[in-house]
């Protein structure tokens, strides 16, 4: 593999890995803040217990999100220096604003929340977790605005002398239609993930560690609510995003379906098989569905890969302008499939747990699998959206092959990729081990209770 | 003018980063030596517990702001100093996770492992940031396409290594001063003694580094600031002898801040001079973004930086009390001990 391919793998590995933690951070911040608000309002001990129990799980996850996020900030410069030179004038601003507005807010107020249990008035301490939660969402907006610009560049002009994109309209960049739909999509996806996590943990506790039924039944419901409401928003925003892609990145949509020629009444393949050249071997199709997804009209036109390829070749010069079809095809379907399964599992749990009942023998297995489903959906969604943009790094403006660092050797990228992967793998084992330990442990860790709060004032301290 | 403002703001961000994370690094390096049992080590870690993550964000913002204001600087620096930066990133990952996970299992081996992760995760960046900045200021091989043409070994020249020794020892002094200021008992005493010993080494190294640079570039402003940095450091050591821990900490903070100012004064108007040919220098002009982008970034920075300083300052105020060994959670609570100090 050359440096380009290795750099792409490195970006894929580190980014997908980072995004395992991000959605949980975002949603758990809000859910924990919700539990703490309930405690603040009712003074009911069970909400305090839930705040601390899920709060600790939130912190174990948060640490991983933070440290893997540092890599994200610098790897544009490390592996993609020509990309950085080309886009810095536009792309750098949202990144810098993200740090200044969001990262400071998150980290400072989270520190206050962790260590401030006995030092801050209750209301201020509650505000600290809410501000942290707001910080996570702000961060998501700015980084998604930056990503949206790579998908659908707006508010810029190309300076051919300096060979770079130059910012002309910051409002256009921050209000890019792509970010306006991607943001709710990603945030709602985060709530599906956190909801599934909270519910999965709660159901597991109800089945395997009975005794704290009252709080965990509440948690299961809260988790289900977050998951299902998130699911509704994911559907709606995903539908809008699909139409956005149909007009702005028609090649991505064509590749999502593996559709070769432009057609109306385009079908949607439930499953299919392609050879390595992207030619279809067989598939099972449902008519009209893709046209409806792309245009809200069963007779709508969906452009095909071959037609777009010809169009781009005449527009940008000779070259292959289509992504790897099996990757986009399957990641698109796995995203939808995994997300839908999570919603079904949550509904099944709600039904089986109605009026104080408990789910039967598959309950434990499904509870464990539940959080993995939205996590998988998130990963496939990013693989779809980033791989579907190829061969472009900035759609229509810069090829991925033009963005890689000329001064970095393949050996250097390979070495750092191997070490990152090993380190990330080891940390994943540590993290899952700690989560499992906390989930299995008593609802209240000794010393964390409010009864002896005077002796143990900071339950989350190091 | 905008270029100058952003050169200044980038300097401010690095000053913020080194002054704040400097003592986190110093504390992390001294952790296994000043903290001799689990209780003492927890006391130390909890002394930076509420603030270390916020301190680290200064680095992320410095990186992001460099990307936005000087894309070519960002691109050349981080692709050029590739393996050095990679080592820093791995160290910061280990250290960040260590703080959060160390206390999550009640096992001596587990905690010892994380203690060394904190040590390495603090020592490596403390050393390598100095190597990196010494090389940035002194100049490295850069070709006409703004690409770095050296290797990792190019950076490990005597001047670069001296730069590393300066930041390593300065941060250790700063960390010891912080521990002396923020803790009680035996840990505080040990830190107090170390300030002078490490501080003298730092003073010698820093004077050598800044003197060497001065002899090379002869920038009057930088010479004055370098002298002030040395005065601040020596005052800090004097204050430490007089057991004025607050002043000593202010002194080490000033010394670090002024040293960074001196480096940036040497650097200007370049951001990364080329040792291959001065014509290939990256400057505040040829590395920068457009005026429009800089204007927007200026507005954002002017509004939000004071706000950040305000609420970060407030955190330090909330957690201003000294940490005693007894105050560390889960430590055996002695009846009537200072549980609420």
Question: Residue B305 CA to chain centroid, in angstroms?
Answer: 19
Q: What is the mean pLDDT of residues B226-233?
A: 95
Question: Which chain A residues have a beta carbon less than 8 Å from that of B101?
Answer: 60, 63, 430, 434
* Contact check, Cβ <8 Å, B64/A59: no
Nearest CA in chain A to B335: A455
Which residues from chain A sit within 8 angstroms of residue B80, using beta carbons? 407
Nearest-by-CA chain B residue for A431 = B101
Name which of A84, A94, A99 to mutate to probe chain B: the one with the most chain B Cβ atoms within 10 A of its Cβ.
A99
Cβ atoms of A161 and A116 within 8 Å: the answer is: no
In this predicted structure, what is the pLDDT of residue A270? 78
What pLDDT was estimated at residue A295?
85
Residues 405-434 of A with CB under 8 A from B: 405-408, 412, 415-416, 419-420, 423, 427, 430, 434
Across the range A151-169, mean pLDDT stands at: 95
CB crowding A117-153: b at 16 or more within 10 Å, else e: beebeeeebbbbbbbbbbbbbbbbbbbbbbbbbbbbb
Best A69, A91, A104, A424 residue to mutate vs chain B (most B CBs within 10 Å): A104
Q: Which of A78, A455, A462 comes nearest B79 by C-beta? A: A78
Reported as a pLDDT band with limits 50, 70 and 90, residue A448 is very low
Residue A271: pLDDT band (50, 70, 90) is confident
Residues listed for chain B? 341
Which residue is listed with tokens 């999550």?
A: B104
CB atoms within 10 A of CB A192: 32
In three-state secondary structure terms, B323 is strand
Number of neighbours of residue B36 by Cβ within 10 angstroms: 12
- A window 161-200, beta carbon within 8 A of B: 164, 166-168, 170
Rounded Cα gap, residues A104 and A135, in angstroms? 8
3-state secondary structure of A166: strand
Q: B150 at the A interface (CB within 8 A)?
A: no
pLDDT, tens digit (0-9, with 9 covering 90-100), for A167-209? 999 999 999 999 999 999 999 999 999 999 999 999 999 999 9
Burial tier of A436 (Cβ tally within 10 Å: 0-12, 13-18, 19+) = exposed
**pLDDT of residue A449 exceeding 70:** no
Per-residue pLDDT, averaged over A242-270, amounts to 88
Q: Sign (positive/negative) of CA torsion A73, A77, A81, A87?
A: positive
Q: State how far residue A373 is from chain B, nearest Cα, in angstroms.
A: 26
**Interface check B149 vs A, CB under 8 A:** yes
Look at the block and give the residue holding tokens 């560390």.
B328
Q: Which of residues 82-121 of B touch A (CB under 8 A)?
A: 82-83, 85-86, 89-90, 92-94, 96-97, 99-105
- Report the SS3 class of residue B142: strand
A-interface mutation test, from B62, B78, B331, most A Cβ less than 10 A away? B78
Mean pLDDT taken over chain B: 92
Packed helices B52-69 and B2-34: angle between N→C axes, nearest 10 degrees: 150
Write the DSSP symbol of residue A100: I
Point out which residues pair with A268 in neighbouring strands. A286
- Dmax (CA) of chain A: 74
pLDDT in tens, A69-113: 999 999 999 999 999 999 999 999 999 999 999 999 999 999 999
DSSP A453: T
The answer to whether A104 faces chain B, any CB pair under 8 Å, is yes
- pLDDT above 60 for B336: no
Locate A121 and state its tokens: 């008035």
CB atoms within 10 A of CB B22: 28
Residue of A84, A88, A460 for testing the chain B interface, max B β-carbons within 10 Å: A88
Each as own residue / partner, the long-range contacts of residues A450-453 (CB below 8 Å, 24 or more positions apart, any chain) are A450/A45, A450/A48, A453/A117, A453/A118
Between chains, do A70 and B86 touch, taking CB under 8 Å as contact?
A: no
Nearest to A78 among B78, B99, B305 (CB): B78
Locate A405 and state its tokens. 């660092």
Q: How many angstroms away from the CA of A412 is the closest CA of chain B?
A: 8
Separation of alpha carbons B256 and A91, rounded Å? 32
Distance in angstroms (rounded) separating the CA atoms of residues A253 and A53: 43
Q: Do A116 and B50 touch (CB under 8 A)?
A: yes
Residue A281 has phi, psi (to 5 degrees) of -100, -50
Q: Which residues in A lie closer than 8 A to residue B70 (C-beta atoms)? A: 88
Model confidence over B19-35: pLDDT tens digits? 999 999 999 999 999 99
Say if residues A217 and A54 touch (Cβ distance below 8 Å).
Answer: no
Tell me what pLDDT residue B331 has.
Answer: 43
Q: Is residue B337's pLDDT more than 60? A: no
C-alpha to C-alpha distance for B213 and B47, rounded to whole angstroms: 36
Q: Is A125 on the interface with B (CB under 8 A)?
A: no
Q: Is the distance from CB of A226 to CB of A27 less than 8 angstroms?
A: yes
Q: How far from B93 is each of A21, A135, A371, B97, B107, CA to CA, in Å?
A: 14, 21, 25, 6, 22
Residue-wise pLDDT tens digits, A20-58: 999 999 999 999 999 999 999 999 999 999 999 999 999
Rounded Cα distance between A345 and A352, Å, is 10
pLDDT score at A11 = 96
CA A5 to mean position of chain CA atoms: 23
Determine contact: B67 vs chain A, CB below 8 A: yes
User: Token pair for residue B231?
Assistant: 């005065």
Q: Could you write out the DSSP letters of every residue in A315-372?
A: HH-SS-----HHHHHHHHHHHHHHHHHHHHHHHHHHHHTGGG----TTHHHHHHHTTH
- Residue A264: pLDDT band by 50, 70, 90 thresholds? confident
Selection from A373, A377, A446 nearest residue A234 by Cα: A377
CA distance to A21, A204, A376, per residue, from A429 (Å): 14, 20, 18
Q: Which of A92, A105, A116 lies nearest to residue B318, judging by beta carbons?
A: A116
- Subunit contact B293:A63, Cβ cutoff 8 A: no
Q: Residue A82: which residues within 8 A CB-CB, separation 6 or more?
A: A402, A403, A404, A405, A406, B75
Alpha-carbon distance B230 to nearest alpha carbon in chain A (angstroms): 31
Residue A428 pLDDT: 95
In this structure, what token pair is assigned to residue B186? 């035996």
User: Is B156 in CB contact (< 8 Å) with chain A?
Assistant: no
CB contact under 8 A, A437 and B105: yes
B320–chain A nearest CA distance, Å: 11
| B145–A81 C-beta distance less than 8 A | no
For helices A177-208 and A372-387, what crossing angle results, to 10°? 160
Which pLDDT does position B76 carry in this prediction?
A: 97
Q: Is A35 on the interface with B (CB under 8 A)?
A: no
């Amino acid at each position: 593999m050359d440096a380009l391919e290795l750099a792409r793998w490195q970006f894929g590995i580190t980014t997908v890995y980072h995004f395992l933690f991000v959605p949980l951070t975002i949603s758990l911040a809000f859910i924990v803040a919700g539990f703490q608000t309930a405690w603040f309002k009712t003074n009911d001990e069970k909400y305090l217990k839930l705040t601390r129990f899920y709060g600790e799980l939130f912190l174990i996850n948060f640490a991983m999100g933070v440290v893997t996020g540092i890599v994200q900030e610098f790897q544009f410069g490390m592996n993609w220096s020509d990309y950085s030179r080309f886009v810095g004038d536009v792309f750098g601003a949202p990144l810098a604003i993200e740090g200044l507005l969001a990262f400071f807010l998150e980290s400072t107020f989270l520190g206050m929340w962790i260590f401030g249990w006995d030092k801050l008035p209750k209301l201020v301490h509650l505000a600290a977790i809410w501000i942290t939660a707001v910080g996570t969402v702000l961060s998501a907006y700015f980084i998604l605005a930056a990503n949206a610009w790579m998908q659908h560049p707006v508010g810029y002009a190309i300076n051919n002398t300096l060979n770079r994109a130059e910012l002309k309209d910051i409002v256009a960049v921050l209000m890019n239609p792509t970010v306006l739909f991607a943001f709710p999509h990603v945030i709602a996806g985060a709530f599906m993930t956190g909801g599934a996590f909270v519910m999965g943990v709660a159901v597991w506790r109800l089945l395997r560690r009975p005794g704290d039924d009252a709080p965990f039944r509440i948690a299961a419901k809260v988790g289900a609510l977050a998951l299902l409401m998130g699911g509704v928003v994911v559907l709606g925003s995903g539908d809008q995003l699909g139409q956005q892609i149909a007009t702005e990145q028609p090649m991505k949509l064509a590749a999502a379906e593996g559709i070769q020629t432009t057609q109306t009444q385009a079908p949607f393949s439930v499953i299919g098989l392609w050879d390595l050249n992207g030619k279809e071997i067989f598939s099972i199709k449902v008519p009209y569905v893709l046209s409806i997804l792309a245009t809200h009209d069963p007779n709508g036109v969906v452009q095909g890969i071959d037609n777009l390829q010809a169009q781009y070749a005449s527009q940008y010069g000779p070259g292959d302008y289509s992504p790897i079809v099996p990757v986009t095809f399957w990641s698109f379907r796995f995203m939808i499939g995994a997300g839908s399964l999570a919603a079904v599992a949550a509904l099944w749990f709600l039904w089986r747990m109605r009026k104080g009942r408990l789910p039967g023998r598959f309950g434990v297995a499904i509870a464990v699998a539940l959080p993995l489903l939205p996590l998988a959906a998130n990963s496939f969604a990013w693989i779809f959206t980033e791989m579907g943009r190829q061969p472009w790094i900035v759609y229509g403006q810069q090829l991925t092959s033009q963005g890689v660092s000329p001064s970095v050797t393949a050996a250097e990228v390979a070495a750092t990729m191997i070490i990152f992967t090993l380190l990330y793998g080891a940390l994943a084992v540590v993290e899952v081990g700690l989560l499992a330990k906390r989930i299995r442990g008593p609802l209240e860790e000794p010393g964390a209770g409010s009864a002896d709060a005077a002796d143990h004032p900071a339950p989350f301290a190091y | 003018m905008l270029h100058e403002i952003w050169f200044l703001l980038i300097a401010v961000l690095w000053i913020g980063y080194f002054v704040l994370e400097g003592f986190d690094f110093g504390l992390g390096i001294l952790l296994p030596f000043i903290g001799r049992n689990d209780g003492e080590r927890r006391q130390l870690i909890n002394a930076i517990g509420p603030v270390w993550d916020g301190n680290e964000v200064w680095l992320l913002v410095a990186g992001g702001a460099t990307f936005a204001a000087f894309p070519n600087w960002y691109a050349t620096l981080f692709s050029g100093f590739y393996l050095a930066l990679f080592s820093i990133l791995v160290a910061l990952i280990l250290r960040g996770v260590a703080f959060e996970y160390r206390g999550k299992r009640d096992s001596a081996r587990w905690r010892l492992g994380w203690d060394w992760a904190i040590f390495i995760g603090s020592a490596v960046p403390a050393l390598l940031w100095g190597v990196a900045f010494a090389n940035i200021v002194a100049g490295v091989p850069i070709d006409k396409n703004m690409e770095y043409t050296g290797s990792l070994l190019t950076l490990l020249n005597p001047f670069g290594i001296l730069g590393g020794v300066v930041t390593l020892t300065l941060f250790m002094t700063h960390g010891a001063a912080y521990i002396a200021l923020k803790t009680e008992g035996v840990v505080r005493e040990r830190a107090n003694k170390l300030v002078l010993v490490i501080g003298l080494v730092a003073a010698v190294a820093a004077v050598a580094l800044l003197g060497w640079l001065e002899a090379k570039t002869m920038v009057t402003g930088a010479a004055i600031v370098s002298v002030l940095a040395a005065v601040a450091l020596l005052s800090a050591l004097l204050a430490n002898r007089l057991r004025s821990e607050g002043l000593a900490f202010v002194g080490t903070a000033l010394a670090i801040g002024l040293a960074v100012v001196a480096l940036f004064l040497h650097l200007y108007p370049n951001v990364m001079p080329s040792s291959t040919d001065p014509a290939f220098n990256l400057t505040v002009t040829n590395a920068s973004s457009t005026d429009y982008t800089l204007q927007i970034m200026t507005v954002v920075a002017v509004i939000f930086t004071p706000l950040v300083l305000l609420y970060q300052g407030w955190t330090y105020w909330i957690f201003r009390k000294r940490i005693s060994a007894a105050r560390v959670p889960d430590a055996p609570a002695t009846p009537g001990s200072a549980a609420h100090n």
